[in-house]
A = this chain, B = another copy of it.
Amino acid sequence: MILASRSPQRRAILEQLGFEFEVVVPDVEELEDGDPREMVVENALRKMRAVPGDFVLGVDTTVVVDGVSYGKPADEAEARATLELLSGRTHEVWSGIALDGRTAAACTEVTFRRLGEGLIEWYLDSGEWRDRAGGYAIQGRGAALVERIDGDYWNVVGLPVPTLLDLLA
């Protein structure tokens, strides 16, 4: 299998499961809005198609609040604004996967704790918001931001494991 992604989290999940795979970083233009399911599946397909090979896995993940998608914040101010928006409420995390031409999508609801100014500062200072859809990493310090999740945890980290296993089965 070839993982068409630059994400270290996705690599770590596949390693944790004992998969053997290579990594090739795809160079694609991604959709940034639209229906979340259609968007992440289309982006996953674009990544898959951008990498030559027989068994290529493309993945795309986005954070959705009030129907609006939030990708990776451009800077700390944007990360702060996103965390303030997510504070004390539930948002959706959508991932699309594409493997060998077949596609699937997963959605997990994530409920944030009420984030005080101090906690947001502490989190932004860690720099963990960089390169993360929605500006947080649930598997890192971001654990302190999250009250509960409903659905697949690994989807929030960046790769929906049960969805991938179903696609492989």
Contact = CB atoms under 8 A, between A and B. Distances in A.
Chain A contact residues: helix, strand, loop or mixed: mixed
Interface string A134-157: 000010110110111111111000
A52 interface: no
A165 interface: yes
A144 B17 contact: yes
Nearest to A155: B148
A124 to B, nearest CB: 14
B150 A17 contact: no
Interface of A: 13, 16-18, 108, 113, 126, 138, 140-141, 143-144, 146-154, 161-162, 165
